[in-house]
């Protein structure tokens, strides 16, 4: 009787898992620290009875207060572990939601422009030093549809699953022109930022919270449904 030969079974492919993906633990620790620090300071100011003193100081030194907020917001885009957005949100009781938003907008755009040119000059190897390798690799494979650069930046910054700082650093490497990057960045910040700061103002004042929340969710859902128009 002839011996029956079994067909060769190809080896089971190994899952990539986390092999080759480097997680910068020190960066994670710094990120947590810079997020927690302003929150702790704000809680201490409001709960320790020093709010009135700090408020009075901020009003007497309003330009210094705003300049520091702007500098920290800009630095937070260039060096992502610093969370300048939390500080500008926390400044609403001191300068109002409109002024706090404008500081956030200008700081975000200035920091994004700096990040755009740094990323374009130093490449993806530089980005890996600031962000985890898995996220950078995911960003590398984003395909931008021709003549959809502004919309693509807009959607990437809102619904692309990418941090805003990475979009700023990597847009030049995706061959997105600076003017298109700038316009898309401003538009995305306006669409997300104004409802966010208005909502935050309502959290402080507890007015119209439900209406603001519903509008924000509806806008995000609409953008999510339309995102396929801008990426291949």
In a domain, 13, yes or no: no
In a domain, 178, yes or no: yes
CA distances from 148 to 113, 115, 122, 159 (A): 20, 21, 25, 15
User: What pLDDT sits at residue 133?
Assistant: 83
Lowest mean pLDDT among 27-41, 69-83, 129-143: 27-41
Q: Domain range for residue 64?
A: 25-229
Kindly report, residue by residue over 37-96, the tens digit of the pLDDT: 555 555 555 556 666 787 888 899 999 999 999 999 999 899 877 777 778 888 888 899
Write the secondary structure of 129-174 as one string of H (helix), E (strand) and C (coil): HHCCHHHHHHHHCCCECCCCHHHHHHHHHHHCCCCHHHHHHHHHHH
DSSP 82: S
In a domain, 14, yes or no: no
Closest CA to 166 of 137, 197, 195: 137
Q: How far apart are CA 228 and CA 223, in angstroms?
A: 10
Tally of domains within the chain: 1
CA atoms within 13 A on the CB side of 22: 11
Average pLDDT over residues 87-116: 92
- Three-state secondary structure call for residue 232: coil
User: What pLDDT sits at residue 13?
Assistant: 42
In a domain, 174, yes or no: yes
In a domain, 4, yes or no: no
Whether residue 119 is predicted with pLDDT greater than 90 in this model: the reply is yes
């Amino acid at each position: 009787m002839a011996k029956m030969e079994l067909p060769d079974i190809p080896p089971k492919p190994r899952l990539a898992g986390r092999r080759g993906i480097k997680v910068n633990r020190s960066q994670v620790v710094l990120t947590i620290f810079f997020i927690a620090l302003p929150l702790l300071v704000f809680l201490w100011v409001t709960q320790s009875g020093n709010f009135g003193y700090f408020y009075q100081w901020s009003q007497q030194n309003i330009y210094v207060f705003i300049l520091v907020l702007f500098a920290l917001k800009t630095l937070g885009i260039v060096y992502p572990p610093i969370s300048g957005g939390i500080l500008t949100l926390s400044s609403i009781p001191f300068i109002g939601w409109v002024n706090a938003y404008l500081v956030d907008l200008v700081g975000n755009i200035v920091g994004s422009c700096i990040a755009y040119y740094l990323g374009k000059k130093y490449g993806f190897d530089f980005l890996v030093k600031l962000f985890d390798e898995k996220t950078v690799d995911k960003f590398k494979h984003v395909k931008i549809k021709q003549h959809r650069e502004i919309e693509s930046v807009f959607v990437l910054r809102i619904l692309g699953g990418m941090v805003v700082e990475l979009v700023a650093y990597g847009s030049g490497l995706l061959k997105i022109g600076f003017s298109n990057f700038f316009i898309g960045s401003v538009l995305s910040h306006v669409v997300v930022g104004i409802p966010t700061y208005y909502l935050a103002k309502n959290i402080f004042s507890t007015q119209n919270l439900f209406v603001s929340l519903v509008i924000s969710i509806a806008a995000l859902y609409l953008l999510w449904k339309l995102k396929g128009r801008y990426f291949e």
